[in-house]
Structure 1
Amino acid sequence: MSPSPPVTTDLSPRRRQLLDAGLQVVADEGLRGLTHRAVDRQAGLPEGSCSAYLRTRKALLVALTEYVASSLAGDVDALARDLQGCPGESDRAVQLTRRLFQRWVEERELLLAKLELSLEASRDPELAELMATWRSRLVDVVDGIMAAQGKEHSAERAETLVSSFDGILFAALLKPRTARKDFLARSLQLLMTSMAAPGQG
């Protein structure tokens, strides 16, 4: 199983405050707006606070990528634990997954930062490695969920499912707020019942 990204519980309160502010800046302005000054303003801290912890913009990008990856991995691990309690219950699996995705879409800062950083990672090998660690972890978890549910599974099948999840999340962000819940429910039901077919054993 792939190693998990650095855990967010190890962060000092001030560092967490800065990274939460960075998430908000990226959600509002994209990576173009991510500067030390912008983070300080968002956090309500004196100018120079962010640069005291993260001296360069690259250090800020790396720390934010680790923070996003660790937060998402923690959510996925929690989902996996919940699903272990209902093996074979496909409807329950869809419901729990939809509940997580709905929270991600409603609390959109984390998801928007993940999308922005994924694009940046396509041009930055260091960020790409951090994102790959989180993605591999997600593929491992999804493969384990499919196995526990008695479904046909493989790493390739799980990776396809994860890529489809990415598309559903992005599409949900583009929907009117009132339409997102129904869209997620329909899309996940279709995807998870079609891709996670019963094993042929």
Structure 2
Amino acid sequence: MTSDRRTLLADAALAVLADEGIRGLTHRAVDREAALPPGTTSAYFRTRAALLTGLVTRLVHLDQEELHTMAERLPPFRTPEELVDGMALLTRRRLTGEGRRRSLARYACAVESVRDPELREILVPRENAAREAVRLFLADQGVRDVEDRAHTLLTCVDGLVFDRLVSGGDVPREALEGLVAAALRQHLPGSPPTVRRW
């Protein structure tokens, strides 16, 4: 029961954060969102830091679950067009419905994590089937620095989602095609190697 109640409260906290922003995330607001008596949230998450940690842990769990499900349903990427299709599906999910709310909460938490090493550690990109599918595709295409290229590609897709959350609209397919083409591009002889700066 304790685990179920903590999950319910973490989900309510996600909703509050998505709807009201970081300043609106209070124990009382979570109690209201969860339709529970005042003081319930503080009984399970004593401090605001504990509430944020619980929220972020739940967010990462939901994200990983979604990515795993997507990877199971999609066939292995064999062509650049198939990889673009997969990324287009992911960006649509991140920009609509419950996915949009989670994206809003994720970026709010990312900003908070700048000052909170514990949150930052929880938010570090995790291994999952979708990330591995991108790496396998790049390796099959003969890309040498697979790890860096996959990281850069997925980080850029994340940036496009953030941009569309702020400005509205869908991520243009042409933008995703450009990112995939860049990830597949080989270094010209004599050109400097890719340097990862994050």
TM-score between both structures, scaled by the size of structure 2: 0.80
For the 8 Å contact 1:80–1:145, the answer to whether it is kept is: no
Q: Which contiguous aligned blocks of 4+ residues in structure 1 show a shift greater than 6 angstroms?
A: none
For the 8 Å contact 1:65–1:127, the answer to whether it is kept is: yes
Q: Which residue of 2 aligns with 1:145?
A: 134
Could you tell me how far 1:53 is from its partner in structure 2? 1.5
| Structural mapping, 1:29-48, within 5 Å | 29-48=20-39
Q: Larger helix proportion, structure 1 or 2?
A: 1
Q: Which residue of 1 aligns with 2:118?
A: 126
Q: Which residue of 1 aligns with 2:53?
A: 62
Q: Does 1:116 align with 2:108?
A: yes
Q: Which runs of 5+ in 2 are unaligned?
A: 187-198
For the 8 Å contact 2:56–2:119, the answer to whether it is kept is: yes
| Distance in structure 2 (CA, Å) of the matches to 1:122 and 1:164 | 19
Q: Which runs of 5+ in 1 are unaligned?
A: 1-9
- Once the two structures are aligned, what percentage of the paired residues are identical? 34
Q: Which residue of 2 aligns with 1:193?
A: 181
| Distance in structure 1 (CA, Å) of the matches to 2:146 and 2:180 | 15
| Distance in structure 1 (CA, Å) of the matches to 2:122 and 2:173 | 30
Q: Which residue of 2 aligns with 1:18?
A: 9
**Number of equivalenced pairs:** 181
Could you tell me how far 1:174 is from its partner in structure 2? 2.2
Could you tell me how far 1:60 is from its partner in structure 2? 0.6
| Distance in structure 2 (CA, Å) of the matches to 1:104 and 1:136 | 17
| Cα 1:65–1:34 shift into 2, 3 Å | same
For the 8 Å contact 1:98–1:185, the answer to whether it is kept is: yes
Could you tell me how far 1:90 is from its partner in structure 2? 2.6
| One-letter amino acid matched to 1:112 | L
| Structural mapping, 1:153-192, within 5 Å | 153-176=145-168, 179-180=169-170, 183-192=171-180
| Distance in structure 2 (CA, Å) of the matches to 1:184 and 1:20 | 30
| Distance in structure 2 (CA, Å) of the matches to 1:114 and 1:79 | 19
For the 8 Å contact 1:65–1:130, the answer to whether it is kept is: yes
Once superposed, what is the RMSD of the aligned Cα atoms?
2.4
| Cα 1:82–1:154 shift into 2, 3 Å | same
Could you tell me how far 1:144 is from its partner in structure 2? 4.3
Q: Does 1:98 align with 2:88?
A: yes
Could you tell me how far 1:50 is from its partner in structure 2? 0.9
Q: Does 1:52 align with 2:43?
A: yes
Q: Deviations over 1:8-35 (max 9, x none)?
A: xx98433222112111111122111111
| Cα 1:72–1:175 shift into 2, 3 Å | same
